[in-house]
Amino acid sequence: MLAIFKREIRSFFTSVTGYLVIGLFLALNGFFLWVFKGPFNIFDYGFADLGNFFLLAPWVFLFLIPAITMKSFSEEKKLGTLELLYIKPIGIWQTVLGKFLDTFVLGMIALAPTLLYVYSVSRLGTTVGNLDMGPVIGSYFGTIFLMGCYTAIGLFASTLSENQIVAFIIGVLLCFLLFYGFEVLSSLFAVGQDAVLVQNLGMKHHFESIARGVLDTRDLVYFISLTAFFLFLSVVQLKNTAR
């Protein structure tokens, strides 16, 4: 697993891909939060908090992470090197986990510079430094767990096709449906137990729950279980391909 992780992370940073991903994530968030006029602009928003960043980040990652993972197994299939993975002295689970950790760490590296936003916003308040850190820390945790789910989903999508564009589209659709689809579906029900039950199936509900600053065990179990489920599906799909 460690060998796969090292190989993949090295390939990202020995090419332009890793730097492009990190730069694109920071540029998109930076422009929308600090430059472009609109609902996400912190100066136009009128409140010194990072709520807009954590509204925007899940949507940026929703497209960015499938773009990173789309080649993970699709490229191996297309080049015919996937069979080589089966004869190496490492299991399929280790291969999948190695590729998962690679993309996850890359996402963490992209997220790390945004800590400067915390400092900047804390200096913008009427009372300098009077930033409620509970929701900020919770939102970072929520984003990290969400990123893990997106990565697992993107890896699964890459096992379904040797065409990277198809893998990207499938990854984006699955991430969108699991993040926002249940929110839309819940609107079809009258406000009540049924609507809440449907919302609980979606990532958005659990992300917002953690973002309030309270780490509920149910939210953590949801994200970890969903991540593990799609990693398991990736392994199953790869085993089926090997037959």
Mean pLDDT of 75-89: 68
Question: Comparing 6-15, 164-173, 195-204, which segment has the lowest mean pLDDT?
Answer: 6-15
CA nearest 106: which of 62, 145, 151, 42? 151
Predicted confidence at residue 64, as pLDDT, reads 92
- Residue 85 pLDDT exceeds 90: no
Predicted confidence at residue 132, as pLDDT, reads 76
What is residue 79's DSSP assignment?
Answer: H
CA angle, residues 108, 114, 117, in degrees to nearest 5: 160
Give me the percent of the chain exceeding a pLDDT of 70: 86
Predicted confidence at residue 41, as pLDDT, reads 78
Instruction: Give the side-chain half-sphere CA count within 13 A for 230.
Output: 23
Cα–Cα distance measured from residue 9 to residue 6, given in angstroms and rounded to the nearest whole number? 5
Residue span of the structural domain in which 114 resides: 1-242
Mean pLDDT of 157-183: 93
More confident residue, 163 or 87: 163
Predicted confidence at residue 156, as pLDDT, reads 96
Predicted confidence at residue 119, as pLDDT, reads 84
Mean pLDDT of 12-34: 82
More confident residue, 135 or 167: 167
Mean pLDDT of 153-164: 93
Predicted confidence at residue 86, as pLDDT, reads 62
Look over the chain and give the mean of its residue pLDDT values, rounded to a whole number.
Answer: 84
Cα–Cα distance measured from residue 63 to residue 118, given in angstroms and rounded to the nearest whole number? 24
Amino acid (one-letter) located at 81: T
Would you place residue 81 in the very low, low, confident or very high pLDDT band (cuts 50, 70, 90)? low
Mean pLDDT of 109-117: 90
Question: Comparing 121-130, 139-148, 192-201, which segment has the lowest mean pLDDT?
Answer: 121-130
Predicted confidence at residue 127, as pLDDT, reads 64
The 10 Å Cβ neighbour count of residue 24 is: 15
- Residue 24 pLDDT exceeds 80: yes
Cα–Cα distance measured from residue 208 to residue 55, given in angstroms and rounded to the nearest whole number? 9
The tokens describing 34, both together, are: 């600090």
What's the total number of domains in the chain? 1
Would you place residue 187 in the very low, low, confident or very high pLDDT band (cuts 50, 70, 90)? confident
Predicted confidence at residue 139, as pLDDT, reads 92
Model pTM? 0.89
- How far lies 239's CA from each of 30, 60, 83, 101, 119, in Å? 42, 32, 11, 20, 47
Residues contacting 4, CB < 8 A, separation 6+: 90, 94, 95, 97, 98, 99, 102
Cα–Cα distance measured from residue 111 to residue 164, given in angstroms and rounded to the nearest whole number? 25
